[in-house]
Structure 1
Amino acid sequence: MPIFQKILKSLNSKKPMPAPEPQSIPETKAAEPQAAETPAMAPNTMNIQLQNRTESSQVYAYITGLALEQNNSPCLIKADGKTPYYPTSPSAILQPLQEDCSIKLGPPGSTTTATIPQLAGGRIWFSVGKELHFLINPGPALVEPSISNPSDPNIDIEWDFCEFTFANNSIYANISYVDFLSMSISLTLTPTQGADQIVLGLKPDGFQSVVDGLQAQSLVDSNDWHKLVYTANGKPLRVLSPNNAIVMNGGNLFQNYYDSYVNQVYEKYASMPLQIDTQAQWGLVAGTVSNNAISFPGLGAFPKPTTADIFSCSSGPFADNAGALGPLTARIAAGFNRSTLLNEQVHPNQEKVDEFYKAGITNHYARLVHEANLDGRGYAFPYDDVPAGGGGVDQSGFVNGSPKAFVVSIHREGVEL
């Protein structure tokens, strides 16, 4: 998640953890079971209430991250839900964990409380039916479950995760569909001050609506959208993001998909400036096309991206994030994914959320994912936290603040309001 690099940078410089740009928080609440009594917290720790809102009694949770008070060492929480485990570096790759880190949740409707130390780059993982397999490489480095490696032992297990960083008595957390879509996760943060912050997650038919929408889109434009659906045991198990589907298929999907749109963008800004509000110290900057690159004098240039560059947001012209290129990359990559770069001259200030994904050539995975969420929120590509200047709710699905209580709920079929 892009905010992760900002957080680590601020922690290393001993500055307060940055909050994302202020966004409106929806007032609609999902119907929720009553939270369990929260035990008292030790200093520099936080309790997380994990709610099983599936119909299954075989639900497992895992909590991973980098321990800020242990020199950013990999950390997992043991099966008791409260004891940190810091793996040692093994002598060979792909070694099993030496501790049980599978937190067994209670029956449907129950709440299990876990306690974590300060962690950056954290994830809360859930699996249904089977436990997940984590491994350790020399370093130590945690080998996490993969959805793009066909030989991964977790490939046919139903699982999902949300992301968080807990530092300086503040939590930043978000749901994520950057890699794939599977189950629904909802977040409720009760801060020490202010109203509850809620991310609702998928609609009851949200997953199936994305599957159906991708298949329909393939019929419309004869592209590879239906190939994002990963099937196991005869039924859809997850939907891969275009970037991960390209990786899993050896780079053979969506070839040249964005080319005509990219050409239109570069033709437009050969005769007029592309103005980008960096929403940072560089302010409003302007670039024009020269030699097939959008050049921002004194800052850098962006040659034409490929489709794979646009979906990944991290290759080709988007690989360099130094200095002003960071916010420029985020806003230009977001503009391509949302297909807004032809709409207005100043980006993202003059963009509106209801204008995202309206072009025929766009990130239809992101479009369908947002449509499938009750509040329209959830990271659907790496820079989905770039805010629209024309109003509308946050798109990335985050909560942020000093926690009085933090509830993470796993749903199999989405949330009933």
Structure 2
Amino acid sequence: MRSWSVSVLGKPLAPLVAAMLVAAGFTAAGAAGPATAAVPSTIPLTVTNNSGRGEPVYIYNLGTLLSTGQQGWADANGTFHPWPAGGNPPTPAPDASIAGPASGQSTTIRMPKFSGRVYFSYGQKLVFKLTTGGLVQPAVQNPSDPNRNILFNWSEYTLNDAGLWINSTQVDMVSAPYAVGVKTGSGATKSTGHLKPGGYNGIFTALKAKPGGWANLIQTRPDGTVLRALAPGHGIESGALARTVLDDYINRVWQKYSTSTLTVTPFADQPNTKYFGRVSGSTMNFTNSAGAVVTSFQKPDSDSVFGCYKLLDAPNDLVRGPISRTLCAGYNRSTLLVNPNQPDTGSGAFYQDAVTNQYAREIHARMADGKAYAFAFDDVGNHESLVNDGDPRQAYLTLDPFS
């Protein structure tokens, strides 16, 4: 599911994958949706710096050009530049940076029809390299990554003939705060990603107070400046968080559904499409309404839950993938024990168990609209920080204060 790079911080690039399915016209039944109004080849993206910080800002627009499938970068005018051939060991990538706005100012660039990311960094340019397989992106869970001590973040987006999908994401880390928005053809503006007042510092304060190693997700510069908190899957990868952190909850789920049934209704527009899960030994089997086994899952570990991959792999199909997405959301939100009918229709029961994804819990609690991409399938039930429109006229990226 890594859609356009050799090294992506996240495991499933869920927001973009979901957007691409929708953008391609696929519904739950797999049928193509109706055509929409033509979307221009580029649209403006206005980056506004409300951070209050004095360092220079650098912007990067990197991704896959959808018309050709080529990987590359776009300059400020939206002109596409393919990456040159890389090497082994990796060779430096061309400088794709665009000068960003000073604090209190705005800069407008053009977005081409990409599936990609808009990175922004404070104070230093990011380091990108190229291998023979493509672009190597920052992976700051690795202490030797050259971007480890740079303050940066990114938004994911897809712009194609069906419209614009743009998100604020914490799937890999929570760092420099920002929000995204889109102006629709009617002139209305939709936005998401803003934190509540005090929310940014509040996330780190809350993680520091959590027992069980959650404070170890926080990375600082040598001078003590807080840079980010890694998502828990990367915490496990780097040794900052115990691999067993969710085991107690997973074991209780396994026990419950060895004697009762978990019902998954993965498509909101198809309430009669249901799958029924039951544990037998080390396997949870899902049957359809006719009683036939359609897919099976082995008992997941914490990393599989946090990453929504490995033992909870979610292929882009119409059976296993949708069931796995629902399971992943239920495990991360710790709702599988309190509701045998998944997914949940509301958020009132989310993160209430003592064993839960504390990282996701603290991020959602501090979002102004309650929405975030704190794990890959946070879009189950529409709890994700994503805006989209089929007739986009303008996109926005707002760098928010560090408070």
TM-score computed with the length of structure 2 as normaliser: 0.86
Q: Decide whether the 8 Å contact of 2:39 with 2:162 is kept in 1.
A: no
Out of 244, 247, 259, the position equivalent to 2:247 is 259
What corresponds to 2:66 in structure 1? 68
More deviation, 141-150/155-164: 141-150
How far, CA to CA, are the matches of 1:88 and 1:352 in structure 2? 47
Q: Decide whether the 8 Å contact of 2:283 with 2:296 is kept in 1.
A: yes
Q: 3-state SS of the aligned residue for 1:316?
A: helix
Tell me how far 1:103 sits from its aligned partner: 0.9
Task: Read off the aligned partner of 2:113 and give its amino acid letter.
Answer: Q
More deviation, 327-336/229-238: 229-238
Q: Let me know the Cα RMSD of the aligned residues.
A: 2.3
Task: Give percent identity, aligned residues only.
Answer: 29
Unpaired stretches in structure 1, ≥5 consecutive residues:
20-40, 388-393
Tell me how far 1:358 sits from its aligned partner: 0.4
How far, CA to CA, are the matches of 1:163 and 1:396 in structure 2? 13
How far, CA to CA, are the matches of 1:3 and 1:227 in structure 2? 26
Q: Decide whether the 8 Å contact of 2:16 with 2:156 is kept in 1.
A: no
1:103 aligns with 2:98: yes
More deviation, 362-371/286-295: 286-295
1:238 aligns with 2:228: yes
More deviation, 321-330/275-284: 275-284
Task: Read off the aligned partner of 1:58 and give its amino acid letter.
Answer: P
How far, CA to CA, are the matches of 1:68 and 1:104 in structure 2? 25
Deviation per CA, 1:48-106: give whole Å up to 9, x if none: 1111112225111111110012x21112123x4433211122344421223x3111123
Tell me how far 1:137 sits from its aligned partner: 1.5
How far, CA to CA, are the matches of 2:311 and 2:214 in structure 1? 23
What corresponds to 2:74 in structure 1? 77
Q: Decide whether the 8 Å contact of 2:214 with 2:241 is kept in 1.
A: no
Q: 3-state SS of the aligned residue for 1:403?
A: coil
Task: Read off the aligned partner of 1:160 and give its amino acid letter.
Answer: N
1:7-22 map, 5 Å: 7-8=19-20, 15-16=24-25
Tell me how far 1:8 sits from its aligned partner: 4.3
Tell me how far 1:157 sits from its aligned partner: 0.4
Unpaired stretches in structure 2, ≥5 consecutive residues:
1-12, 29-37, 288-292
1:354 aligns with 2:348: yes
CA 1:117–1:317: 2 relative to 1, 3 Å: closer
Q: Decide whether the 8 Å contact of 1:184 with 1:413 is kept in 2.
A: yes
Q: Decide whether the 8 Å contact of 1:164 with 1:174 is kept in 2.
A: yes
1:123 aligns with 2:117: yes
1:94 aligns with 2:105: no
Q: 3-state SS of the aligned residue for 1:355?
A: coil
Task: Read off the aligned partner of 2:96 and give its amino acid letter.
Answer: C
Q: Decide whether the 8 Å contact of 1:318 with 1:333 is kept in 2.
A: no
How far, CA to CA, are the matches of 1:85 and 1:313 in structure 2? 33
Task: Read off the aligned partner of 2:320 and give its amino acid letter.
Answer: L
How far, CA to CA, are the matches of 2:196 and 2:247 in structure 1? 33
More deviation, 274-283/43-52: 274-283
What corresponds to 2:182 in structure 1? 189
CA 1:200–1:305: 2 relative to 1, 3 Å: closer
CA 1:324–1:147: 2 relative to 1, 3 Å: same
Task: Read off the aligned partner of 2:128 and give its amino acid letter.
Answer: F
1:229 aligns with 2:223: no
Q: Decide whether the 8 Å contact of 1:321 with 1:329 is kept in 2.
A: no
Tell me how far 1:10 sits from its aligned partner: 6.6
Q: 3-state SS of the aligned residue for 1:373?
A: coil
Q: 3-state SS of the aligned residue for 1:262?
A: helix
CA 1:18–1:60: 2 relative to 1, 3 Å: farther
Q: 3-state SS of the aligned residue for 2:348?
A: helix
1:366 aligns with 2:360: yes
How far, CA to CA, are the matches of 1:82 and 1:301 in structure 2? 45
What corresponds to 1:46 in structure 2? 43
Out of 153, 160, 172, the position equivalent to 2:165 is 172
More deviation, 340-349/274-283: 274-283
More deviation, 364-373/294-303: 294-303
What corresponds to 1:410 in structure 2? 399
Q: 3-state SS of the aligned residue for 2:393?
A: strand
How far, CA to CA, are the matches of 1:101 and 1:18 in structure 2? 36
Out of 264, 274, 277, the position equivalent to 2:265 is 277
Task: Read off the aligned partner of 1:367 and give its amino acid letter.
Answer: R
Q: Decide whether the 8 Å contact of 1:148 with 1:247 is kept in 2.
A: yes
How far, CA to CA, are the matches of 1:274 and 1:194 in structure 2? 44
TM-score computed with the length of structure 1 as normaliser: 0.83
